[in-house]
Amino acid sequence: MKLSEIAEFLGLEFKGEDLEIKALNSLSRASFDELSYCDSDKNAKNIAHCGAGAIIVGKKHENLVPKDMQKLISADPQLSFAYLSKLYAKPLISSEKKPNTIAKSAIIMPNVYLGSGVNIGENVVIMAGAYIGDNVSIGDFSVIHPNVVIYNDSQIGKKCHLLANCVIGSDGFGYAHNNAGEHYKIYHNGNVILEDFVEIGACTSIDRAVFESTIIKAGTKVDNLVQIGHNCIIGKNCIIVAQTGISGSSELGQNVIMGGQSATSGHLKIGDFTTIAARGGVSKSLEGGRVYGGFPIMLQKDWLKFQAKLANLFYKDLKTKE
């Protein structure tokens, strides 16, 4: 679309050089024929270094836009971006038919759906009922169990195990909200990358990134019923135990252990060789090499002392009342 057409669609004023906008992208990766947006002070520092041809910004940040970049001024840049993302969303089923590359040693059971442009390596096993979307690649010796869904553009490494009913590459949980409280979907055009030797448990869901990649690095093992949000990066050899929830844009270092029913808020980092005890709630970035627990998160040894003191106070109070 032309930038002038985008402005008209969004109901925004446009003055400047008209451009052909081929795609939407992040501030850090956008090129001259792409459009980006900025909706916060935190991201505003990246505007000066952005390579986009055009950007949607609020009045507050318009003075940060370089002279050679076109700008659309919006009262709510995120909401404008959400409206626009629908127009640039990739189709679920491609109209362009590409040939599939399937190794002769691969075993594909009945009732498997294969999209177009799929690449399946040597000795891969895909069990009944699996859905493999367009442009998916699956590395040698990987096993895809029954009813697994792998959405478009996902990359699965070598010797990975994806257990029954897990979902790889679903849309992230991202919405913008108008003044009436209505929610507008932000469409995600990124993908998911599972590196080699990754295992994903049954009924686990890993969301695709908005623009780039959600990445699970080599050797990581993810249990059943885990949710990993969009744009997350999970380091090598991590252990993610059942019913854990990792919010969008969280970054885990290598050999991080997340205990059962633990969780993170988004946009934080957990250092290498960290352990989060069961039901721990991570609300801030953490140094590596330590064991944490509780909520708000603290060192596990301090959490245990705190619980012991609470118990003592409780029982003393009971005895006094008796």
Domain of residue 241: give its range: 166-300
**Residues 205 and 293 placed together within one structural domain of the fold:** yes
Confidence check: pLDDT of 107 > 90:
yes
Q: Which two tokens stand for residue 28?
A: 């850090």
Q: Is residue 315 part of a domain?
A: no
* pLDDT tens per residue, range 18-31: 999 999 999 999 99
Q: Is residue 35 part of a domain?
A: yes
Cα Rg of the chain, angstroms: 23
Q: Is residue 143 part of a domain?
A: no
Q: Is residue 205 part of a domain?
A: yes
Q: Are 30 and 52 in contact (CB under 8 A)?
A: yes
Catalytic residue among 161, 183, 230, 267: 230
DSSP state of 5: H
Amino acid occupying residue 230: H
* pLDDT tens per residue, range 195-207: 999 999 999 999 9
**Residues 63 and 181 placed together within one structural domain of the fold:** no
Half-sphere exposure of 212 (CA within 13 A, CB side): 12
Choosing from 61, 87, 113, the residue where a domain stops is 87
**Residues 83 and 171 placed together within one structural domain of the fold:** no
User: What's the average model confidence in pLDDT over 272-289?
Assistant: 97
Confidence check: pLDDT of 317 > 80:
no
In this prediction, residue 50 carries a pLDDT of: 95
**Residues 83 and 182 placed together within one structural domain of the fold:** no
Confidence check: pLDDT of 319 > 80:
no
Q: Which helix (H) or strand (E) is 128 found in, with range?
A: none
Confidence check: pLDDT of 303 > 90:
yes
In this prediction, residue 320 carries a pLDDT of: 72
Q: How confident is the model at residue 322 (pLDDT cuts 50, 70, 90)?
A: low
Sequence-separated contacts (24+) of 268-276 with Cβ below 8 Å? 272/235, 275/300
Coil, helix or strand at residue 300? helix
* pLDDT tens per residue, range 35-92: 999 988 989 999 999 999 999 999 999 999 999 999 999 999 999 999 999 999 999 8
In this prediction, residue 297 carries a pLDDT of: 96
Q: Which two tokens stand for residue 140?
A: 């040698």
Give the C-alpha separation, 257 to 210, whole Å.
26
* pLDDT tens per residue, range 164-211: 999 999 999 999 999 999 999 999 999 999 999 999 999 999 999 999
* pLDDT tens per residue, range 223-267: 999 999 999 999 999 999 999 999 999 999 999 999 999 999 999
Q: Which two tokens stand for residue 36?
A: 């980006």
Mean residue pLDDT across the chain: 95
Choosing from 55, 87, 119, the residue where a domain stops is 87
Q: Is residue 278 part of a domain?
A: yes
Q: Is residue 155 part of a domain?
A: no
In this prediction, residue 279 carries a pLDDT of: 97
Q: Is residue 170 part of a domain?
A: yes
Choosing from 87, 114, 140, the residue where a domain stops is 87
Amino acid occupying residue 294: G
Q: For this structure, is 145 an active site residue?
A: no
In this prediction, residue 311 carries a pLDDT of: 87
CATH of the domain at 17: 3.40.1390.10
**Residues 74 and 193 placed together within one structural domain of the fold:** no
Q: Is residue 46 part of a domain?
A: yes
Q: How confident is the model at residue 314 (pLDDT cuts 50, 70, 90)?
A: confident
CATH of the domain at 237: 2.160.10.10
Tell me how many domains the chain contains: 2
